[in-house]
Structure 1
Amino acid sequence: MKKLLLVVFIGLFLVGYVLAAGGTADEAKAMVQKAVAFIKANGNEKAFAEFNNNKGQFVDRDLYIWVADLKDSAKCLAHGANSKLIGQSLIDFKDTDGKLFIKEIVDLANSKGSGWIDYKWTNPTTKNIDRKSVYFEKLNTLVVVCGFYKS
């Protein structure tokens, strides 16, 4: 009986761990809000350096901050998961279904200031194409973004 209880306990623990492995909508939104406050308190240069630090406070499991310039073809200014994107225009990026999701983020940031969009993207943790939902906020000429995978 003790072995059975131990097996059940370990099984429940592992299921809980797997379910908690990815970020959530609330965590993504909170990370964007924290990032916006960090930019306001510390300025762009220090904030972008922290966002680019993949061991820093703005990278957590599959959650990471990225920032684009709304006035310069959505040029990537910071990216917590892929530093190769920094300096590149993201405006023409499409997901696997051909959706111009960066353009949609830019348009909505300029018209509404904040919001959510969904698209399909490679999950850096699993390397699979997964559905992703991102929250974004406009800050002056920047858009600050974080998303979670709905796998």
Structure 2
Amino acid sequence: MKILKLLVALLLAAQCQFVMADDNPADAIAMVEKGLAYMQKNGKDALVQEINNKTPDFINGSIYLYVRGLDGIVIAHPINPKLIGKNMLDLPDADGKYYRKEIIALAKSKGKGWVDYRYNNPVSKQIENKTTYIFRSNDVILEAGIYKGK
């Protein structure tokens, strides 16, 4: 029985790695663009409500859309609602990088782009390389990231 459980665990781990390997930067960009189009049509409050209600349009496997204010406060997050209303600019990633500050700086300077950091992957339960595409629209930043493995 223990061997069977071990084999199932190994199979699941292999599947998770396969799924994560499918993460594509274009999918993160598409998720942000979908959110931007929705916000332009329906308004910021409607987008925030849809994300916080875990609407499937804004969650695609491990890629999901979230919204942060230019002050760093999380406005919408479909995976971890405990983050909503929090400003975590002074909390670094697993390697000590203040990537949230980098997100804010990039949003204010260029308006869009990628930020790399290391973060706990909720699927694999491991610290992994992650890259997040950000796009500033007025006073908010739309973000969607992908895991790149260890």
Where on the TM-score scale, by shorter chain, does this alignment land: which range?
A: 0.7 to 0.9
Shift of residue 101 of structure 1? 0.4
Q: Gapped runs of 5+ residues in structure 2? A: 1-13
Check conservation: 1:92, 1:100, Cα contact below 8 A: yes
* Equivalent-residue separation in structure 2 for 1:17 and 1:95 (angstroms): 22
1:1-151 alignment runs, 5 A limit? 19-21=18-20, 22-70=22-70, 72=71, 74-151=72-149
- Secondary structure, aligned partner of 2:57: coil
State the 4+ residue runs in structure 1 displaced beyond 6 angstroms: none
Check whether the contact 2:73–2:86 (CA below 8 A) recurs between aligned residues: yes
The normalised TM-score by structure 1 is 0.83
For residues 47 and 121 of structure 1, the distance between their equivalents in structure 2, rounded to whole angstroms, comes to 25
CA contact (8 A) 1:36 1:144 kept: yes
Whether the aligned pair in 2 keeps the contact of 1:108 and 1:114 (CA below 8 Å) is yes
TM-score (normalised: structure 2): 0.83
How many matched pairs? 135
| Deviation at residue 92 of structure 1 after TM alignment | 1.5
**Contact 2:16-2:123 at 8 Å conserved across structures:** no
Q: Distance in 2 between matches of 1:66 and 1:125?
A: 18
Preserved CA contact (<8 Å) 2:64 2:78: yes
Distance 2:91 2:117 in 1: 11
Distance 1:117 1:17, change over 3 A: closer
% same residue = 37
